[in-house]
Amino acid sequence: MRLAAALALVPALLLTACATVQRGPPTAAGYPEAVSLLGAPLYTPELPLETRQRLAAQLDSAYAVYQRDPDNADAILWLGRRVAYLGRYRDAVAIFGEGIRKHPTDARFYRHRGHRLITLRDFGHAQRDLERAALLIRGRPDETEPDGIPNARNEPRTTLAFNVWYHLGLAYYLRGDFTRATGAFGNALAVSRNDDARVAAADWLYMSYRRLGRTEEAEKVLQGIRPDLDVVENRAYLRRLRMYRGELPPDSLLAPGRDDALTLATQGYGVANWYLYNGNPEQAEEIFWRITSAENWAPFGYIAAEADLRRILRRRGER
């Protein structure tokens, strides 16, 4: 099996030191992948054995393709994506960096590196990469992005342009630049080709407007949101939007049976914001802490909860 060789692809210096991640001495669990915005080390979560074996086999195949043609853009891109699916985000960032060096005008590498820099809590460099990607796609035909982990229909639901604008919006939002976030999420909404993309962009656009106190504009985002939208992947976002419309009570999104990490992070973050907008910051903070107690620290809702907790603690003088 060539998994070890695939992970050894990135030079050892890059694997053991990353300027964007503060590192302590190694532990039995190895080095942390990242450091949370609250100062805690973040280690790669354990994957179920079957999942890890499947992802490792896919990485093995991607590495074999890369070995045959290490300058091929698709080969580099998929190697980086497969490494990231195993939670090796720093390695993925380095591989996408190799892609940028070999293909400096290929927006895909900036888009994917920007995404994983967000995962690593390096929002400034993520913003830089995604702004570069936005320039590179200007005036070019959009293209569907193939899924690395297919949905139930085996039907990709996003495009390169959507993902560039969506992740750029996240970088702005996580840095507290809600004004520029509205522009980026608005662009993501404009290039959305299906309801999955629309509900994801609409949700973050709504939240960005609410953070700015632009309630009327936020309410306009909710027009056209219906329970029967053709949503395959982003049901949690649709539920959040319906909650904003008053069709679902906030607590229903946190009901028993909705405690898996991704659902909690996605739906929980929307609920916490709802309480924050509507004059209940204590309840919002409690949910932020609940989200950040989960093991899987990669979801955007988790990262956003961290960012909000850091703002809260700084206002109190605790950070």
What is the CATH classification number for the domain harbouring 16?
A: 1.25.40
pLDDT at 297 over 70: yes
pLDDT of residue 28: 36
Clarify whether residues 313 and 235 are in a common domain.
no
- What is the identity of the amino acid at 251? D
pLDDT at 260 over 50: yes
Let me know if residue 15 belongs to a domain: yes
Say what the alpha-carbon torsion angle 121, 207, 109, 196 is, to the nearest 10 degrees. 130
Please compute the mean of the pLDDT values over residues 20-47 and round it to a whole number: 72
pLDDT-based confidence at residue 27 (cuts at 50, 70, 90): very low
Point out the domain boundary residue: 209, 240, 271. 240
Please compute the mean of the pLDDT values over residues 188-197 and round it to a whole number: 97
Clarify whether residues 32 and 140 are in a common domain.
no
Clarify whether residues 49 and 1 are in a common domain.
yes
Question: pLDDT digit string (tens) for 124-157?
Answer: 999 999 999 999 999 999 999 999 888 889 899 9
Clarify whether residues 124 and 100 are in a common domain.
no
CATH of residue 186's domain is 1.25.40.10
pLDDT of residue 302: 96
Please provide residue 140's backbone torsions phi and psi, each rounded to the nearest 5 degrees: -105, 150
Q: Cα(66)–Cα(61) distance, rounded to whole angstroms?
A: 9
pLDDT at 98 over 50: yes
- Element (DSSP H or E) covering residue 41: strand 41-42
Clarify whether residues 33 and 83 are in a common domain.
yes
Please compute the mean of the pLDDT values over residues 51-55 and round it to a whole number: 95
Segment among 18-22, 39-43, 111-115, 129-133 with least mean pLDDT: 18-22
Clarify whether residues 36 and 80 are in a common domain.
yes
Please compute the mean of the pLDDT values over residues 35-63 and round it to a whole number: 95
pLDDT of residue 301: 95
Let me know if residue 187 belongs to a domain: yes
Clarify whether residues 255 and 236 are in a common domain.
no
Clarify whether residues 52 and 91 are in a common domain.
yes
Please compute the mean of the pLDDT values over residues 43-50 and round it to a whole number: 92
- Element (DSSP H or E) covering residue 167: helix 160-174
Give the number of domains in the chain: 3
pLDDT of residue 7: 52
pLDDT at 4 over 90: no
pTM: 0.90
pLDDT at 240 over 50: yes
Clarify whether residues 234 and 254 are in a common domain.
no
The domain of 61 spans 1-104
pLDDT of residue 25: 32
Clarify whether residues 235 and 130 are in a common domain.
yes
Partners of 34 in the β-ladder: 42
Please compute the mean of the pLDDT values over residues 71-86 and round it to a whole number: 97
